[in-house]
Chain A
Amino acid sequence: MTGTIFNIPFLAVAALVGIALYIIISQRNLIKLVMGITILESGVNLFLITLGYRAAGIAPIYTNAPEGVMVLPVPQALTLTSIVIGVATTALMLSMIMLTYRHTGDIDSEKSRRMKG
């Protein structure tokens, strides 16, 4: 890791996670809430990918590989799994919002919460 340029992705991770947490806590619109969760997911995925990066590294494919440093394959596998899971979660959340909208005609979390503890 030479130079500060490699820290830029980490700053992006911090920004994404911070923005996402702010959205999740502050927004009442359910669609925006889901957007917040998706941004959080992107932030975490970027974090994993950045961890595995090595300066001037090449893709970790052994067939006909040129000489040089390879980036770490494990974080990439983790990210791939995480993306697949994220798609399932997002799809489920969006379909639930769709059905809620059919019931209440609204996607504002304050108005749809009719039952209070």
Chain B
Amino acid sequence: MHTLVAHSAILIIAIPLLAAFLTPLISRVSKKARDILVIATLVFVEFLVIILAKDIYLNGIHIYTLGASSPSLTIPEHYMVPVRIILEVDAMSIFMGIISATVSLAATIYSISFMKEETGGDRFYTLLLLLVVGMLGLEFTGDMFNMFVFLEILSISGAALAAFRTRFADALEGGFKYIVISAVGALVILFAIGIFYSQYNLLNIAALAQAMQYTMLDKIALALLAMAFTMKLAGVPMHMWAPDTYSVAPAGTTPMIYIASQACLYGLFRTCFTLYGVTLNTATIGWIVIIIGVLSMFVGVTMAVHQSDVKRLMAYHAISQSGYMLLGVGVGLAVLGNPEALASYGREAMSGGIFHIINNALYKGLLFLTAEALFFRLGTRDLNKMGGMCRNMKYTSIFFIIGALAISGIPPFNGFTSKLMIYESVYRFNPILSVIAMLVSIITLASFTKAFQAAFTGPALPQYKDVKEVPKPMLIGMGILTIIIIFFSLFPGLIVNSIVNPATDALINQATYINAVMGGL
């Protein structure tokens, strides 16, 4: 058990990577064995993430040096700087890891029955596992170049998954937009990495953060990194790809591509807080993040209101919800250099934003899955052609109601808790921002009322008389997320204290992250 914890960081990345290329081989023997292998892999990853999380909350940052005689030997003898690839998992990384592992597991269980009716299942599962590798690697790595590599793994597999149903022209379009955005974004990040290397001869995040001079070149690199990550997380004004990509991705992959974008959100936070930290002019950068957040919130929700395609509607809400996270964490960033304001409301705003990431991943994932369930049974995503589905699909409609109430911030659901934290603390920073956030929440409720009314209520339509409830694996996938949402709704205090606040502190305390690798040199 002790050995397992010590090596868990690399195992979490290596096991799905190995399984990804085993799946096509296993499926030659039996399709069922392949499905079991994929699920077993993700269950094991989830287990490893949980034991690693427990270790991190007890003993602090977990370091894993690849190729060293001991995992904690970050700086080889006779060297002054870390030269090996290092995985550095702190409370924020593992927080994102928990989200990725949990949502991927639910989404993959959901996908199984879907894939029975599609061809090319082997490739689907290979790409799915590679997407998991990309997300977890991006979250766990302590090395800039590694971050680029995992970002590319995530992008290529995500784009291939989005375009998986090649018989639809719009699927190809969604996939193509995603890969173009990702390719440009990743190259911009590589350019920024080149700028860092030219100045400091370093690639390790902790070592770079320690050496950071905040010269003109560093400012350019910050702008490039921030732009690339904002592009990848679909922040307004670079959100154009998101509705096209999210609406066409098959089965359970939409929530996964969505949380892959959240992993890029993590990349943005890691860059701002850990790589630059207080050396940068936090008030200005914080305000830029806040403005992108408010724009995303508002533009996302106003575009969502008039959509008639159920998945496009949800995709625009996804953009809008990312705005809350950017707003909450942006307020924290803006007051990072001011300990008094940070203690009185900045930290709570950040906790609210970070708590919103996990809440949103859960209910947004659930809503994407219910939308895909409608498409699975009805063959259309057009809300105007649906109606009366609560008679045929009882469980799906219950899941939809829970997800819709949670996203609209209706008490007692978990969306309410995190939004309340954001409202309260942002109000003390700037009341207008808080008012906009509440307004957006109300429009969200209106939009989801419309979607629910169109799809699930109304008279039974004759052409859908024989529509049945979706198969069991799909219900299990949605059920897992629903149970976690209800648990989070009942015990918000427990969640905030045990996993959210450590993540916030991990972002604020740059020195802890640096010392874990540099050993206080």
Contacts and interface: CB of A to CB of B under 8 A. Distances in A.
Interface of A: 17, 24, 30, 33, 37, 40-41, 44, 47-48, 51, 72, 74-75, 78, 81-82, 85, 88-89, 92-93, 96-97, 99-100, 103-104, 112-115, 117
Closest 3 CB pairs of A and B: A103-B169, A96-B176, A85-B152
Q: Which of A30, A41, A72, A115 counts the most B-chain CB atoms under 10 A from its CB?
A: A115
A96 B158 CA distance: 13
B183 A89 contact: yes
A24 B190 contact: no
Given A75-B197, A114-B170, A117-B240, A93 B176 contact: yes
Interface string B174-204: 0110011011101100110110011001010
Given A82-B190, A100-B169, 17 more contacts: A17-B191, A24-B180, A44-B194, A47-B191, A48-B190, A85-B156, A88-B152, A89-B156, A93-B176, A93-B179, A93-B183, A96-B175, A97-B176, A100-B176, A112-B169, A114-B169, A117-B240
28 contacts: A17-B191, A24-B184, A37-B187, A40-B187, A44-B187, A44-B191, A51-B194, A51-B197, A74-B197, A74-B203, A75-B194, A78-B145, A78-B193, A78-B197, A81-B149, A85-B149, A85-B156, A89-B183, A92-B179, A93-B180, A96-B159, A96-B179, A99-B163, A112-B169, A112-B173, A114-B169, A115-B173, A115-B244
B179 A89 contact: yes
B190 A92 contact: no
A38 to B, nearest CB: 9
A33 B180 contact: yes
A92 B159 contact: yes
A112 B171 CA distance: 12
Interface size for chain B: under 10, 10 to 19, 20 to 34, or 35 or more residues?
Answer: 35 or more
Nearest to A24: B184
B172 interface: yes
Nearest to B199: A51
A20 B169 CA distance: 27
B179 A100 contact: no
Contacts of A97: 176
Contacts of B338: none
A89 B175 CA distance: 12
Interface of B: 145, 148-149, 152, 155-156, 159-160, 163, 166, 169-170, 172-173, 175-176, 179-180, 182-184, 186-187, 190-191, 193-194, 197-198, 201, 203, 240, 243-244, 303, 312
Contact of B172 (A41, A44, A85, A100): A100
A103 B170 CA distance: 10
Q: Which of B145, B172, B244, B303 counts the most A-chain CB atoms under 10 A from its CB?
A: B172
A31 to B, nearest CB: 12
B194 A92 contact: no
A70 to B, nearest CB: 14
B179 A117 contact: no
A108 to B, nearest CB: 12
Given A37-B184, A82-B190, A88 B173 contact: no
Q: Which of A17, A75, A89, A93 counts the most B-chain CB atoms under 10 A from its CB?
A: A89
Contacts of A82: 148, 190
Binding site secondary structure of chain A: helix
Nearest to B168: A103
A47 B194 contact: yes
Contact of A89 (B152, B191, B243, B303): B152
Nearest to B189: A44
Contacts of B198: 51
A25 B325 CA distance: 29
A103 B182 CA distance: 24
A116 B170 CA distance: 11
A41 B187 contact: yes
Nearest to B146: A81
B327 to A, nearest CB: 23
A45 to B, nearest CB: 9
Given A78-B145, A97-B176, A104 B194 contact: no
Contacts of A33: 180
Nearest to B174: A115
Contact of B169 (A47, A89, A92, A104): A104
Contacts of B176: 30, 93, 96-97, 100
A48 B144 CA distance: 14
A19 B148 CA distance: 23
A33 B169 CA distance: 19
A72 B83 CA distance: 13
Given A24-B184, A89-B152, A103-B169, A117 B163 contact: no
A48 B512 CA distance: 31
Nearest to B315: A117
A106 to B, nearest CB: 11
A20 to B, nearest CB: 9
A117 B187 contact: no
A47 B190 CA distance: 10
A57 to B, nearest CB: 15
A99 B172 contact: yes
B134 to A, nearest CB: 12
Contacts of A17: 191
Contacts of B159: 92, 96
A24 B198 CA distance: 27
B156 A37 contact: no
Contacts of A103: 169, 172
A75 B183 CA distance: 20
A48 B194 contact: yes
A59 B28 CA distance: 46
A32 B184 CA distance: 14
A64 B179 CA distance: 44
A81 B172 CA distance: 27
A59 B390 CA distance: 69
